[in-house]
Amino acid sequence: MATSVRGWTVLLLNRLHYSTVVLSSFGFGLFLPFIQEDLGLSYLQIGALQAVSWGASVALLVPFSVLFARFNPNRRVLVGLALLTPFLFTQGVALGFWTLMVSRFLMVLTQAGMTPARPLLLRWWAAPRQYATVTSVGLSLHSTFMAAALTFSPLIIVLLDSWRLAYFLQAALMGLHLLVWTVLTRGAEPVFDESRTTGPDDSGAGEGDAPAEDSASSPLIRALVAYPHAWLLGLVMLCLSASWTTVLTFLPTILEEQRGIAISAGSMLFGFMYYVLIPGGLLGSRIFQHITDRRLMVLLPAAMNTLFTVIALLAGNQLLVAVALTGVGLVWVFVPAMEILPFEFRGIRAREVSVLAGLVQTFSAIGFGGGPLLAGALAQASGSPVTGVLVVGGLTGLAILAAAMLPRSFGGSRYDVIG
């Protein structure tokens, strides 16, 4: 049975919810020259504003994924959308550092309750053989949205002479999402069985996987201990995330102040991080299908991430910057395949996948927030943002070590999610 049109629409709309919040967080660096001038922010405050968006996620993603796993995922998202709309609006009316800080904290607090629902939405709406395909198409759609937003938002801000309008537009878009989500999910019943991810023919436990008979009756929190490979995947995602937000937060300022590249031109360069993902995101299911050596599948993006991050920082001209940023974006072509890996853990339940998703997203949040915060602190101490970004870029090499510790397979039959 294939995923229905309604299922595709629900899952891709959920991805767009995430994209809107991501624009307020990952794309913050492109708005900084305007916000910094208006609100008089220091380098440390800039890093803190980026960090607070993910600090709440670090503390709450795993608890929320455990506490809310038994609730209807469609309703979880509905409540989240109803709260996100005003929190985006209040960022647009911020009068100073603390107003903006609190608004961003409340936004990510709400998002932390929604994000771990994604695996449950997959189980509800998507055919198991199409998990990687749905995730890959979602990444391509997300990249299209972000490429357009990152390319044109600074230009629009310059033309309209107001960074606040960008937040008002996002709030309006989220309100529209709320209305559409209400109509699409009203009275919806599960289309696919969500009790288990593996079939009855799967017997025995793979390396690092829990026995199926123990899994069914155990507390959800047990998944954090039963599946240790999720921690290694989380460390890899931490490094990828730290590179992404640190580059997006500080490189626009570095390019403008030290390379003489105007912010309007810089915004187009940063679009290359997403341009490559518009067609490239669709490769996620192919990567999952053809790179059956799971260690290699994770090693490749880990090594590419460190290499291209350092090149982007040291590049001396726009062409080399564009190539390096394209490489940083290309790394994330592998992420849809990596997101599906927990479904291969033998005997795992869908709600346990949701808990592990919360764990991996917690590591991502540490990277998203910790990378800019560390870079900001080092920039404040040294007087050079280049120093801060270069140190963070070097530390992302830890992802290579984490990926090397993964097994080539997870000890059993691969769960075929290719549609």
Residue scoring higher pLDDT (235 or 166):
235
CB atoms within 10 A of CB 82: 15
Residue scoring higher pLDDT (215 or 95):
95
Question: Is the pLDDT reported for residue 111 higher than 70?
Answer: yes
> pLDDT category, 265, cuts 50, 70, 90?
low
Question: What's the mean pLDDT when you consider all of the chain?
Answer: 79
Asked if residue 164 is part of any domain, the answer here is: yes
> pLDDT category, 45, cuts 50, 70, 90?
confident
Residue scoring higher pLDDT (198 or 89):
89
User: Which residues, 6+ apart, have CB-to-CB distance to 296 below 8 Å?
Assistant: 408
Q: Which of 166-175, 223-232, 400-409 has the lowest mean pLDDT?
A: 166-175
> pLDDT category, 201, cuts 50, 70, 90?
very low
Helix ranges (DSSP H) in 115-205: 118-125, 131-160, 164-185
Mean pLDDT of 239-268: 75
pLDDT at position 376, please?
A: 85
Q: Tokens 């990510």 map to which residue?
A: 108
Mean pLDDT of 212-223: 60
128, 197 contact by CB (below 8 A) = yes
Question: 13: closest CA among 65, 62, 81?
Answer: 81
What dihedral angle (degrees, nearest 10) is formed by the CA atoms of 177, 417, 273, 374? 90
Question: Torsion-angle region of residue 40: left (phi > 0), alpha (psi -120 to 50) or beta?
Answer: left
Kind and range of the H or E run holding 349: none
pLDDT at position 196, please?
A: 45
pLDDT tens digits, 287-328: 888 888 999 999 999 999 989 988 888 877 778 888 888 898
pLDDT tens digits, 369-419: 788 888 888 888 888 778 888 888 888 888 999 999 998 887 644 443 333
pLDDT at position 209, please?
A: 41
pLDDT at position 317, please?
A: 77
260, 37 contact by CB (below 8 A) = no
Q: Could you write out the DSSP letters of every residue in 108-127?
A: HHHHHHHGGGHHHHHHHHS-
User: Which residues, 6+ apart, have CB-to-CB distance to 199 below 8 Å?
Assistant: none
Per-range mean pLDDT, top range of 185-194, 264-273, 310-319: 310-319
Identify the domain containing residue 158 by its residue range. Answer: 5-404
Percent of the chain predicted with pLDDT > 70: 83
pLDDT at position 301, please?
A: 93
Mean pLDDT of 95-100: 86
Mean pLDDT of 115-131: 83
pLDDT tens digits, 274-287: 778 888 777 877 88
pLDDT at position 27, please?
A: 58
Question: Is the pLDDT reported for residue 203 higher than 70?
Answer: no
Mean pLDDT of 247-275: 72
CA dist 110 and 412 (Å) reads 37
Asked if residue 61 is part of any domain, the answer here is: yes
> 270 is written with which tokens?
């940063």
Question: Is the pLDDT reported for residue 214 higher than 50?
Answer: no
Question: 228: closest CA among 114, 118, 112, 348?
Answer: 348
Mean pLDDT of 113-139: 84
pLDDT at position 82, please?
A: 93
CA dist 269 and 278 (Å) reads 15
CA dist 419 and 414 (Å) reads 14
Kind and range of the H or E run holding 333: none
Torsions phi, psi for 406 (to 5 deg):
-75, 150
**pTM of the predicted protein model:** 0.74
CATH number at residue 350: 1.20.1250.20
Mean pLDDT of 128-151: 81
Question: Is the pLDDT reported for residue 140 higher than 50?
Answer: yes
Domain count, the chain: 1
Longest dimension (CA), the chain: 63
